[in-house]
Structure 1
């Protein structure tokens, strides 16, 4: 299968780029002694788990289907967490997870009897400090529902669990900022941590970003683990798959209303939702900062403000031209939807040997089935 034969839109995962990130993860593990579990809420494309599994220790989840997927397709340790479990959820996954982390002391009290003897029990704590670029993604935002604040902890609960989870970072590329958060946690919760077996420090630590001081991060994690005599976990998502995947689209029309808009056969609302939610423009491989031809890269959805970005190009764009929307793995494929009945992007992986492997493709019947399965007579 040749790239020029592939019909857009499609995602192309690059195995070599993925391995480059995973080698950094391995280095961090070697330095720190921490274990790393893949955050499936960010990336669940299990067709490439064969590449990731040798480097990581398992998966972590935010809902029961992710727990099942991690258990069935990844193996290793399977961590289960949810902001709000139902009893059915807990019973569904208690036998297949290694750690079950509850968001509140009330949920822990309600369902621990189902889990005890099957999985290690954990509780999410909210440190009240965080690193996040937008309030929408800030776990320690005002009135946060995520985890137990320090002044609400029932000290007796700590002796009845095995570990705790903190999640207080979002795309944190600053190792010094992370170390400061780590020190704050140690100071604020240290007396509790000393009584536990493990501590998960969540995700959002961008240790694969170019120039990130992995050795400094690893040394800090090791010191933290030794100080409190705990096994430390990180839950990387985007750090593992950042810069590995393009969303490839085709220009299907060019319109002009004071500025030229190149309409492509994809949409942020359907295929790259976080671009819309966080108002963070996408980047295009073919664009050029010095280019004199400016275009809005607009989607083919009916949402008036649905666009990928504004970009400059060295040459005018042409109908039929392919564009590569960069860094399109994290929080994309897990958020795909059928808005406007648009064609769902296929998913491919370019293997290290040059082969193009098809991981998934979708058609009209998938769209139809997602809306109704049975007719009412």
Structure 2
């Protein structure tokens, strides 16, 4: 299959770029002894899991369907976590997960009897410190519901815990800042950690970012693990698939009202939701910092403020021209929806030999079935 013949909108994952990130992950594992489990909340496109599995140790989840998906399509270790389990949720995954991590002491007390003897049991702790660019994504924000605060811990719970999980980073590109968080955890929780088998430090550590000091990170992780005598885990998501995937769209119209807007056959609200939620404009491959032709890249949805970005180009854009919205994998394909009844992007993988493979495509029947399967008679 040739890329030139693909109909937009579509995502295309670049195998070579994905493997480059995975090689960095393997190096981090080798020098630190840390285990890495893929965060399915960020990226769940299981059609490329065969490329990822040789490098990582398993998956971690935020809900029961992700647990089942990781178990069925990835294998290795399957970590189950949810902010709020129902009893049905726990029973559904207790037999297929390796670790069950509860968000609160009350959930632990209510459901641990279902899990005992089947999976290693963990509890999420909230260190009260974090590294996050926006409060919306800050696990240690005021009144956070995520994990148990240090001053609320009942020490008796650690007598029957196997491990704990912290998650306090969001796109943390600073190894210095991360080391500071490790020191804070040791200071607050060290006496508890010393009695455990494993500690997960969650995700959000951007160790594949260009020029990130992986050696310093590896040393810090190794020292932390040895200090407390635990097996460490990280839960990378964005770090694994960053800069691997484009969302390819086509300009379908150009309108002008004070600014020129190139309307494309996609929408942030439906296909790249975090662009809208976090007000983080997309980057366009074809754009130029020195270009003299300025455009708003607007979506085809009815939401007035739905636009991907503003960008400049060396030449005027034309109707029918394709644009590549860069870095469109993390927290993107997992959030696709049918807003406005827009066509869902297909998903492809470009292999390192140049071959393009289809992973998924969607049609009207998928849209229709997502809304109802039967009508009232």
* TM-score in terms of structure 2 length: 1.00
Instruction: State how far apart, in whole Å, the 2-side matches of 1:20 and 1:315 are.
Output: 33
Q: Which residue of 1 aligns with 2:127?
A: 127
Instruction: State how far apart, in whole Å, the 2-side matches of 1:194 and 1:245 are.
Output: 41
* Structure 1 ranges of 4+ moved more than 4 A: none
Q: Which residue of 2 aligns with 1:212?
A: 212
Instruction: State how far apart, in whole Å, the 1-side matches of 2:121 and 2:52 are.
Output: 26
Q: Which residue of 2 aligns with 1:324?
A: 324
Q: Aligned with 1:370: secondary structure?
A: helix
Q: CA deviation at 1:188?
A: 0.9
Matched, 1:246 2:246: yes
Q: CA deviation at 1:159?
A: 1.2
Q: Which residue of 1 aligns with 2:13?
A: 13
1:233-263 deviation per Cα after TM superposition (whole angstroms, max 9, x unaligned): 0000000000000000000000000110000
Q: Which residue of 2 aligns with 1:190?
A: 190
Q: Which residue of 1 aligns with 2:299?
A: 299
1:89-142 deviation per Cα after TM superposition (whole angstroms, max 9, x unaligned): 000000000000000000000000000000000000000000000000000000
Instruction: State how far apart, in whole Å, the 2-side matches of 1:250 and 1:257 are.
Output: 21
Instruction: State how far apart, in whole Å, the 1-side matches of 2:7 and 2:23 are.
Output: 32
Q: Aligned with 1:112: secondary structure?
A: helix
In the TM superposition, 1:25-174 aligns within 5 A as 25-174=25-174
In the TM superposition, 1:196-235 aligns within 5 A as 196-235=196-235
Superposition RMSD on alpha carbons, in Å? 0.3
Q: Which residue of 2 aligns with 1:2?
A: 2
Instruction: State how far apart, in whole Å, the 1-side matches of 2:311 and 2:175 are.
Output: 31
Instruction: State how far apart, in whole Å, the 1-side matches of 2:32 and 2:104 are.
Output: 29
Q: CA deviation at 1:375?
A: 1.3
Q: Where do 5+ consecutive residues of structure 2 fail to align?
A: none
Q: CA deviation at 1:82?
A: 0.1
Q: CA deviation at 1:64?
A: 0.1
Instruction: State how far apart, in whole Å, the 1-side matches of 2:190 and 2:104 are.
Output: 19
Instruction: State how far apart, in whole Å, the 1-side matches of 2:36 and 2:13 are.
Output: 21
Q: CA deviation at 1:368?
A: 0.3
Matched, 1:312 2:312: yes
Instruction: State how far apart, in whole Å, the 1-side matches of 2:149 and 2:310 are.
Output: 42
Instruction: State how far apart, in whole Å, the 1-side matches of 2:120 and 2:36 are.
Output: 17
Q: CA deviation at 1:353?
A: 1.1
1:284-335 deviation per Cα after TM superposition (whole angstroms, max 9, x unaligned): 0000000000000000000000000000000000000000000000000000
1:26-68 deviation per Cα after TM superposition (whole angstroms, max 9, x unaligned): 0000011000000000000000000000000000000000000
Q: CA deviation at 1:143?
A: 0.2
Q: CA deviation at 1:376?
A: 1.2
Number of equivalenced pairs: 377
Q: Which residue of 2 aligns with 1:178?
A: 178
Matched, 1:262 2:262: yes
Instruction: State how far apart, in whole Å, the 2-side matches of 1:319 and 1:354 are.
Output: 28
Q: Where do 5+ consecutive residues of structure 1 fail to align?
A: none
Instruction: State how far apart, in whole Å, the 1-side matches of 2:374 and 2:117 are.
Output: 41
1:146-190 deviation per Cα after TM superposition (whole angstroms, max 9, x unaligned): 000001001010111100000000000000000000111011100
Instruction: State how far apart, in whole Å, the 2-side matches of 1:178 and 1:290 are.
Output: 36
Instruction: State how far apart, in whole Å, the 1-side matches of 2:41 and 2:67 are.
Output: 10
